[in-house]
Amino acid sequence: MTLAQESVMAWLRDAGLEPRELQQKAIDAGLLEGTNMMISSPTGSGKTLIGEMAALRAVSNGQKAIFMVPLRSLALQVGKTIKERYASRGLNVEISTSDFETSGSTLESCDVLVATYERTDSLLRHKAAWLSDIGTVVVDEIQNISDSMRGGRLEGTLMRLRKAFSDVQFVILSATVGQPNILADWLDCKLVQSNHRPVPLVTRVLKTSEPEKTVRDLVMNSIQKSGQVVVFNRTRREAVAAAQRLGPHVQRQLRHSEKESLANEVSSLENWSASLPRDLVSLIHSGLAYHHAGLDFESRHLVERLFKRGILKAISATTTLASGMNLPARTVVLTSIASPADYKEILSANEIHQMLGRAGRPGYDKEGFGIIITRSEGERQTALDAYFHRIQDPENDEHERMPRFNPVRSSLSTNLAEQVLVAIDFLGGAAVSDLENTFFAQSYLVHNHVRNPKSPVRPLVLSELTAQAAIEKHAMSETVHAAMQGVLASTEIREESEQTLGGLIQPRSGGGYTCRFSIRPQKSGVMEGPMCSCGRPISDEGILCPHLVALGITASKLAQSKADFIIPLALGETSPVATLSKLGLIEAGSDNRLKLTALGSVVCKLYLRIPTVRELLALLPTVETSQEMLDLLGHIIMLESGRNLGESASRVAAELILTSDTCETISARNDIDVGDVRLVLEMLDWVLISISTIAEISNLKTVGNGIHRMLNELHSNRYEGEKNVNKQ
């Protein structure tokens, strides 16, 4: 054993810990020798401790470690655990989840930094000097790289971390996913896999015409046998309603001593800081609670703590909080497979199994139960096909269902303009060819593309988009080649206007189809896009039908100027470089190398999304009144948070700035969850500073002065205890 290895094992012994099967497997694979490693295993198998061990190895070598997590709640949870576990060793652990506009100089003295993905990204953009002392980077829940809103930023962060610190050990933690070897290969990590669960899991997909009764029966059956239950619901409203329906039934199961414990907990001095809604207080007295992002952090933490102690018997939560909850229960019930964002879409297999995987409490349960509720035979079959493989047992010809997992896909293309901006800053300037062929060639997007035979011709295009380039981003190479050779179909362009290109496509195999690329708006305001009479113009993977490919390639030859304008827009494709240039964020030097403008440099460090910047640059010059400024402020907060708060956003922002009323008072007055009020409060300082900075650099003095007044009022009316945010 090396000195560092002996040191880590001593740290574990002092904390009363001994490596279990998965941790020992990682050690044997070289974890404590600095080997890059990806751990893929079920929920509750001990991945977090592996991350801790890697961090301790860095500290033992006189270096620092960063532990990246997806959510603030997880950062606080992981940071608290590490602090308490190794307190006797004097380990300096810091937690940082916000302050995107600062370089985090106060973090320089820490040994281990537990930070959200976004805060780590922000520190990299600010080029914090102390980052050169990093010896280990731990990335938890790496499957979030597929997330459409956050995944692109995570992918960009990992690309820059690997390029900037080639000697750093990367330890990647993942729930069980499909084809983890592809992700491990991209990260140059040794893959350590395990399907072992501390508690065996039994999964069922139930069809019922009475879902509420079925959920109640499942919950009560578990509680009556001394089990705990988590019920996942699609929306906040459904989570609250389910808890209220279950309350009287759960309460009847409570012993007198349990009722007293609950009453003491709710009224104790320890919980005064949690401003619990009245209906939640009543439910807690009944032995259960709801849990969603509309609650403030203290209330969610209280609910989690009472559940972990066994005082609460059940929690009714939203599916959106599944990744942030470390709440094992004997039974997990999923009331809907519909996506929270769109009820017409279903949750991914990885999301489903992450929730079901929380069933089974180590040390308490012999087995866990994960139940999916469906309302028809068709929905049940959809769930079975989407989430399970049907495997035949060769010994008895019976079939069993095994979990199906989705491969982790890149979502870089949804955030490409921002990542191009950050890459140019990181590289100190770059030519488009260097960005495409060198920097982004190392992306997970391109890595996936090379290994996926069903990938389109081009994974990304950074410069000006032609019709052909846009088609190549959405078509297989053989289809494009056949279309260019004229052997795919006979194509006649019959419609050509400022907004549409259409035609008749007659495949060589026979038949005829009418196709169109259109940027004409529908009544809903949504652009028509690509259309084809085949009924399947574009697949779920974004691949065009061969008829549209034939039309697009022909149009690019016969109506090039219109095709180059209409087809990329119809496919939702824009050139990242052109977008950044039009916004004034980048410029080309005499050597054709792109570099950031003064505005681009500011935007990069402020950590704003490109759509936000576009809105600010367009709307700031039109702002004349305080109300217009507040409306813009609410709009920007919704853009950056991804939450649709409607008109409440600007009203809440105004009251937080202009009054000293509590978040609870503002919540009640505006009929909005207190968690949403606190979200606005947590974002206000950063958003106001960002708007002020952009107004100043755009020479909008009147707007800038108005923002400064709002900042001063915010600071005078709000005190640090109200913010209740652990900022570093």
Contacts of 132 (CB under 8 A, 6+ apart): 165
Q: Measured between alpha carbons, how far is 417 from 412 in angstroms, rounded to an integer?
A: 9
Residues 559 and 485 in one domain: yes
3-state SS record for 26-63: HHHCCHHHCCCEEEECCCCCCHHHHHHHHHHHHHHCCC
Q: Tell me, yes or no, whether 320 and 223 share the same domain.
A: yes
What mean pLDDT is predicted for residues 132-138?
96
Calpha distance 663→471 (Å, rounded) = 50
Q: Which two tokens stand for residue 278?
A: 């009245």
557-586 pLDDT, tens digit per residue, is 999 999 999 999 999 888 899 999 999 999
Confidence (pLDDT) at 273: 53
For residues 287 and 177, state if they share a domain: no
pLDDT tens, 1-53? 677 788 999 999 988 899 988 999 999 999 999 999 999 998 778 899 999 99
Q: What CA–CA distance (Å, rounded) separates 325 from 309?
A: 15
User: How many angstroms from the chain centroid is the CA of residue 518?
Assistant: 32
pLDDT > 90: what percent of the chain? 65
State the average pLDDT for the chain.
89
pLDDT at position 272 over 70? no
What pLDDT does 493 receive? 93
Same domain, 549 and 677: no
Q: How far apart (Å, rounded) are the C-alpha atoms in residues 181 and 190? A: 9
687-707 pLDDT, tens digit per residue, is: 999 999 999 999 999 999 999
Choose the most confident range, by mean pLDDT, from 229-243, 330-344, 402-416: 229-243
DSSP state, residue 366: S
Residue at 533 is within a domain: yes
Task: Please tell me the distance from the alpha carbon of residue 586 to that of residue 172, in angstroms, as a whole number.
Answer: 34
The pLDDT assigned to 642 comes to 86
- Both 139 and 85 in one domain: the answer is yes
What was the pLDDT predicted at 126? 93
pTM of the model: 0.88
Q: Is residue 255 part of a domain?
A: yes
Look at residues 130, 159, 193 and tell me which one is the last residue of a structural domain.
193
Structure confidence at residue 535 (pLDDT)? 92
Instruction: Indicate the residue among 138, 170, 193 that finishes a domain.
Output: 193
Say what the pLDDT of residue 394 is.
64
Q: Supply the pLDDT for residue 101.
A: 60
> Does residue 224 sit in the same domain as residue 189?
no
Same-domain status, 186 and 319: no
- The pLDDT of residue 599 is 96
Looking at residue 719, its pLDDT comes to 55
Q: Which of 202-206, 302-306, 318-322, 378-382 has the lowest mean pLDDT?
A: 318-322
Number of domains in the chain: 4
- Look up tokens 């189809």; give the residue: 513
SS (HEC) of 306-344: HHHCCCCCEEEEEHHHHHHCCCCECEEEECCCECCCCCC
More confident: 594 or 319:
594
Whether 213 shows a pLDDT value over 90: the answer reads yes
Is residue 587 included in any domain, yes or no?
no
pLDDT of residue 398: 60
On the question of pLDDT at 634 being above 90, the answer is yes
**190 with 181: CB under 8 angstroms?**
no
| Nearest residue to 357 via CA among 641, 47, 627, 660 | 47
183 inside domain: yes
Tokens of 317: 């939560």
* pLDDT value of residue 725: 37
Helices (H), 486-585: 546-558, 560-570, 576-582
Residue 463 CB neighbours (<10 A): 14
Residue 148 lies in a domain: yes
Rounded Cα gap, residues 12 and 469, in angstroms: 55
**Pairwise CA distance, residues 18 & 12, whole Å:** 7
SS3 call for 127: coil
Alpha-carbon distance of 64 to 381, in angstroms, equals 50
The CATH number for 162's domain is 3.40.50.300
**Residue 189 shares a structural domain with residue 205:** no
Expressed as residue numbers, the domain containing 174 is 3-193
Mark whether 320 and 390 lie in a shared domain: yes
Q: Note whether 134 and 63 are within 8 A (CB).
A: yes
Same domain? For 273 and 345 the reply is: yes
* pLDDT confidence of residue 325: 66
269: pLDDT strictly greater than 60: no
CA distance 489 to 497: 23
| pLDDT digit string, tens, across residues 68-107 | 999 888 898 899 999 999 988 889 999 998 776 666 777 8
CA 339/CA 352 separation, integer angstroms: 11
* Residues 438-457, mean pLDDT to the nearest whole number: 86
Give the number of other CB atoms < 10 A from CB of residue 311: 16
User: Given a cut of 90, is residue 608 above it in pLDDT?
Assistant: yes
Tell me the β-bridge partners of 390: 401
Least confident of 121-125, 208-212, 321-325, 420-424: 321-325
100 within 8 A of 607, measured Cβ to Cβ: yes
Please report the sign of the dihedral spanned by the C-alpha atoms of residue 566, residue 568, residue 569, residue 575.
negative
pLDDT-derived band at 271 (thresholds 50, 70, 90) equals low
Amino acid 9: pLDDT: 92
Residues 243 and 350 in one domain: yes
Mean per-residue pLDDT for 276-292? Answer: 90
**pLDDT per residue over 475-493, tens digit each?**
988 899 999 998 899 999 9
Which of 160, 193, 226 is at the close of a domain? 193
Instruction: Give domain status of residue 265, yes or no.
Output: yes
* pLDDT tens per residue across span 491-514: 999 999 999 999 999 998 888 999
Q: Is residue 600 part of a domain?
A: no
> With 80 as the cut, is the pLDDT of residue 399 above it?
no
Is the separation of the CB atoms in 542 and 410 below 8 Å? no
Using a pLDDT cut of 70, give the percent of the chain over it.
Answer: 95
What's the whole-number mean pLDDT along residues 197-201?
86
Q: What is the pLDDT of residue 432?
A: 92
**Domain check: are 669 and 551 in the same one?**
no
Q: Select the highest-mean-pLDDT range: 72-76, 327-331, 532-536.
A: 532-536
426 in a domain, yes or no?
A: yes
